[in-house]
Amino acid sequence: MAGKVKEKNSEKRRVSRRYLTIFLFVMLWGVLIIVKMSIVMFAERQYWNDVSKNLIPANRTIEPRRGNILSDEGLLLVSSMKHYRIFLDFATYEKNQKRAEADQHRKDTLFERHIDEFARVINRMFPQYSVRQLRQHFITGRTSKSKHSWPLLPGVSRNLYPISYNQYKTLTGTVWLRPKNEGWFYSLESKISREQPFGTLASRTLGDMFAGKDSARFGLELSFDSILRGTPGIGHIEKVQNVSHMVADIPQIDGCDIVTTINVDMQDVTEVALRRELELVNAASGTAVLMEVATGDIKAIASLTRTENGYYEIQNNAVRDIFEPGSTFKPVSFMVALDDGKISITDSVFCEWGRYAGFGGGAVMTDAGIGYGWLDVPGIIKNSCNIGTSKLITAAYKDDPQAFVDGIYRTGINTHFEMQLIGTGAPVIRKDGYWDATRLPWMSIGYNSQMPVINTLAFYNGIANGGKMVEPRLVTEIRHEGKVVERIPVKVVRERMCKDKTLEQIKMMLEGVVDGGSGINAASRHFKVAGKTGTAQISQGAAGYRNGIRTHMVSFCGYFPADKPQYTCIVSISTSGGAAGGGTMAAPVFHEISEKVMARRILRSVSEAVDTVNQFLPAVLAGDMNSTRLVLRKLGMKPEWKESDSLTWGRVTLDSIQFRMTPIIEREGLVPNVVGMGAQDALYILESAGLRVEIAGVGRVRSQSLPGNSRFRKGDRIRINLSM
């Protein structure tokens, strides 16, 4: 019995030892796991964070290339460019101590030997940073906690990617930024951003993207976002020979390109002319738009606003804001009245010498200066007479003012032109409602109605286009991979704005405005111009038109050449205080734009440059006389030989209108005189004589280091100096 108990206790002890051994083993294994976790979480945290950045998910979105925005001539106005941020790594990643020490020694040696040279290289690429500043930046990074990821450039925001693709390729080709184990190891972050190669030209019309987002803000970027954006693809990463490659499972579809009507040269001319006038008169803002008559294509569109740093495009005022057009509306009023037969072009009216209160309501209408007496309809338009316009229109439509508004709508000027843009302004021309005593008179001269300047431009363009109003157009084609996938046609708004007779009368009156009228500053000596000035006082909201300093919108709208119109242009300027007038502020801008636009289109025949009075005699170099004689005979000239028809080298002199040729005699052992020859002939003669020739300059030989006919030995050096 005792033996059995003893045996049982022995068995228990063996089992207990086994469990204890297993328990201790598990505990030890758990401690090791905890220790390893602690090492990974704390001691090796930075290492594994860096490793995690390089891990690539199995499936990745392949972003499509956003389409380009092109000018009418195919130039890039907006395109997608990749920009970079580079981070330097001054410390080793090696885990093995021996290899780590060797790698760190290599990096430290490279740093100490080349830091100054590297700073100079970066300074040449980014001159806003001095060499001293860059050197200190690198020294700080070497001892910083961020030495594994130190930015290449100091003070760069996390949202900025200041390094272009070309700069990136240049930098990574230097001895300092090479693959691991060859230079300083570096990490790279890239971002695709939209770039406008021509700077701020037409920037509000072209549009922009939200920073850091693939989302359009305004302009054509927003209007055509779905077309420009493209369709993303799906792919995965495969490693081939330890190099990662993206393999597309579902290929992306790149965005389409859009071709605009904007002409870079015309846009530049328009912006420069407008900015110059705004600075001259210290205006608050200004707009200028240039349109092609036949198609309605917008060749240039500029909207500049005064800022602390000058005039820049803040809003697209040309299509967004609505204003009372002022006197540029008077041709609309007369077109309606003439077309309805309410007035005749020969009608005259007494213009009250510039001050009239007869419309009622206590309102007093005035004209510039001392005003005018009796004027006929062309005279009213030519001098932009407010009283004359209002008296004629009021007399014609006082019993049926609604017919006047119906006539305005008939012209098409009330059309809401969306302009292939989002957020364009719509005209406000009241069609019905209560008509008090002042509404019709003031409406006839461009008040009590609001519209964007683009509507005024479209109206005048319709006049220039033979009475056909077309919608302003900004985009003509959509292309994908260079092929046209859609053409956007010209859209006709009105086939006939008015009767042909009325149209010719309006054209005649608009030409008179520029020919000695209020728009004389828009005239050109080279081609005919037609148009109309406008000056409108801007209402200050609830305060009306009498609130301290008066603000005016001055404008000029017209077309050129008036006898065969090609372009229509409107210039509108907002200014406060002092004298304001469309003829003195806006018309000069129109003049500059029209002159420069037409100058670039002039193509003259070469025959016009022929001088039929004076005889042209070419300059003839010394040298090969056989070639010279051949050329002169081809030009219809017969050179005179002085000694022999067999001479090879010679000189040409001009005696009156006759060329005379004399030979250059070569003597053994004497330096040839090559002064006056071209480089090819001089080189041939001198080297044939046995001289070694050095040439400096271009043109004909003006001097030679060894004088002509002086003695020399074969192999001597001679220097010949050439100039034009």
- 351 and 434, same domain (yes or no): yes
Give domain status of residue 404, yes or no.
yes
Q: Is the pLDDT higher at 332 or at 48?
A: 332
Residue 356 makes CB contacts below 8 A (sequence gap 6+) with 364, 365, 366, 387, 391
Of the ranges 202-211, 496-505, 650-659, which one carries the lowest mean pLDDT score? 650-659
- 355 and 464, same domain (yes or no): yes
Torsion of CA 523, 525, 527, 533, to 10 degrees: 0
pLDDT value, residue 233: 87
b/e burial code for range 337-370 (CB count within 10 A of at least 16 → b): bbbbebbebebebebbebebeebeeeeebebbee
- 516 and 635, same domain (yes or no): no
**Domains contained in the chain, number:** 4
Quote the CA–CA distance of 183 and 11 in Å, as a whole number.
68
Give domain status of residue 464, yes or no.
yes
pLDDT value, residue 78: 92
pLDDT value, residue 89: 76
- Interval 103-134: pLDDT, tens: 777 777 777 777 888 888 888 888 888 888 88
Interval 275-287 mean pLDDT? 93
Give domain status of residue 312, yes or no.
no
Of the ranges 191-195, 476-480, 572-576, which one carries the lowest mean pLDDT score? 191-195
pLDDT value, residue 1: 55
Cα→Cα distances 193→81, 147, 164, 598, Å: 5, 28, 11, 36
**Local structure of residue 698 (DSSP, 8 states):** S
Kindly report the CATH number assigned to the domain that includes residue 704.
Answer: 3.30.10.20
- 164 and 233, same domain (yes or no): no
- 188 and 225, same domain (yes or no): no
Kindly report the CATH number assigned to the domain that includes residue 368.
Answer: 3.40.710.10
Quote the CA–CA distance of 559 and 565 in Å, as a whole number.
6
Give domain status of residue 2, yes or no.
no
Which residue segment(s) compose the domain that 64 sits in?
54-75+198-259
Residue 415 makes CB contacts below 8 A (sequence gap 6+) with 427, 455, 458, 469, 471, 493
User: Residue 100 corresponds to which tokens in the numbers above?
Assistant: 């780590």
Strand pairing report for 185-195 and 150-151 = unpaired
Query: Which of 235, 259, 283 is the endpoint of a domain?
Result: 259
Interval 600-626 mean pLDDT? 57
Q: Tell me the pLDDT band of 255, cut-offs 50, 70 and 90.
A: very high
Checking if the pLDDT of 18 tops 90, the result is no
Kindly report the CATH number assigned to the domain that includes residue 248.
Answer: 3.90.1310.10
SS3 429: strand
Interval 32-47 mean pLDDT? 79
Quote the CA–CA distance of 142 and 722 in Å, as a whole number.
56
Quote the CA–CA distance of 233 and 61 in Å, as a whole number.
6
Give domain status of residue 490, yes or no.
no
Nearest one of 225, 290, 302 to 258, comparing CA atoms: 225
Query: Which of 178, 195, 212 is the endpoint of a domain?
Result: 195
pTM over 0.85? The answer is: no
- Interval 626-681: pLDDT, tens: 667 666 666 666 666 544 445 566 666 655 556 666 666 667 788 888 888 877 77
- 143 and 184, same domain (yes or no): yes
Query: Which of 561, 582, 603 is the endpoint of a domain?
Result: 582
Task: Please state, rounded to an integer, the average pLDDT across all residues of the chain.
Answer: 83
Give domain status of residue 493, yes or no.
no
- 328 and 406, same domain (yes or no): yes
Checking if the pLDDT of 181 tops 50, the result is no
Checking if the pLDDT of 591 tops 80, the result is yes
Q: Is the pLDDT higher at 413 or at 187?
A: 413
- 349 and 465, same domain (yes or no): yes
- 179 and 62, same domain (yes or no): no
Query: Percentage of the chain with pLDDT > 90?
Result: 42
Of the ranges 93-107, 265-279, 384-398, 488-502, which one carries the lowest mean pLDDT score? 93-107
- 347 and 388, same domain (yes or no): yes
Give domain status of residue 265, yes or no.
no
- 190 and 234, same domain (yes or no): no
| 3-class DSSP string for 582-648 | HHHHHHHHHHHHHHHHHHCCCCCCHHHHCCCCCCCCCCCCEEEHHHHHHHHHHCCCCCEECCCCCCC
- 400 and 532, same domain (yes or no): yes
Checking if the pLDDT of 269 tops 60, the result is yes
Query: Please, what sign has the CA dihedral across residues 52, 53, 55, 57?
Result: positive
Give domain status of residue 434, yes or no.
yes
Quote the CA–CA distance of 340 and 332 in Å, as a whole number.
12
SS3 132: helix
**Local structure of residue 60 (DSSP, 8 states):** E
